[in-house]
Amino acid sequence: MYGHPVKSTCTHLDLVADVDPGEDVCPACVAIDSSWLHLRQCRICGNTACCDTSLNKHATAHFRDTGHPIMRTLEADQDWSWCFIDEETLEQDADGRWRSIDGFFDAGVWFARGLLADGTASLPFAAEATAGEGFPLGVWEATYRRRHRDGTIDPEQAAELESLPGWRW
């Protein structure tokens, strides 16, 4: 479990089926005598394939070939899914509700808290402000301010921003 969950906007979740457990190899890599780094499983048909940091990227190839949009990690210590179409990282809570993980929001909050705590910066951040190794802090702030204006921001995210010292809408 990582990140801050928000309501998912993915419209493909009703395609998710009960599939058999994944395999412990990428069959497409085995067939061409190749190797892989991490395994993913299609949540529509159960196909096991390798991740995008693997040489052959068979999970993405499976999506392109079949249009099956949702896959999950088969890494033992992880439990997340990914929608290729919405480019959304998803997790399912104990009640079966799907939530989206917004890594961009979490990273920005983390950087903002650090800078505000040690007095290196104050709100509002400059539009071109960056943090860490080039994280676009100004763009991050503008993104969630825009969502707030549009009324599309997740309420938990709004509350978290309001808890930053000096935050004003």
Residues that bind Zn ion (CB under 5 A): 10, 12, 26, 28-29, 36, 42, 44-45, 47, 50, 56, 58, 66, 68, 83, 85-86
Helix (H, G, I), strand (E, B) or coil at 137: helix
103-117 and 137-150 are packed helices; what angle lies between their axes, rounded to 10 degrees? 120
Which is closer to Zn ion, CB of 23 or CB of 86?
86
Which is closer to Zn ion, CB of 44 or CB of 109?
44
Find the shortest distance in angstroms from Cβ 68 to Zn ion. 3
Find the shortest distance in angstroms from Cβ 160 to Zn ion. 25
For residue 86, CA distances in Å to 48, 70, 78, 82 come to: 21, 10, 20, 8
Which is closer to Zn ion, CB of 57 or CB of 145?
57
Find the shortest distance in angstroms from Cβ 141 to Zn ion. 27
Cis ω before 155 (30° cut-off from 0): no
Token pair listed for 94: 């104990």
Which is closer to Zn ion, CB of 88 or CB of 160?
88
Q: How far apart are CA 138 and CA 115, in angstroms?
A: 13
How many degrees, rounded to 5, is the angle at CA 102 between CA 76 and CA 72? 30
Is residue 141 within 8 A of residue 154, CB to CB? The reply is no
Which is closer to Zn ion, CB of 72 or CB of 129?
72
Q: How far apart are CA 137 and CA 104, in angstroms?
A: 10
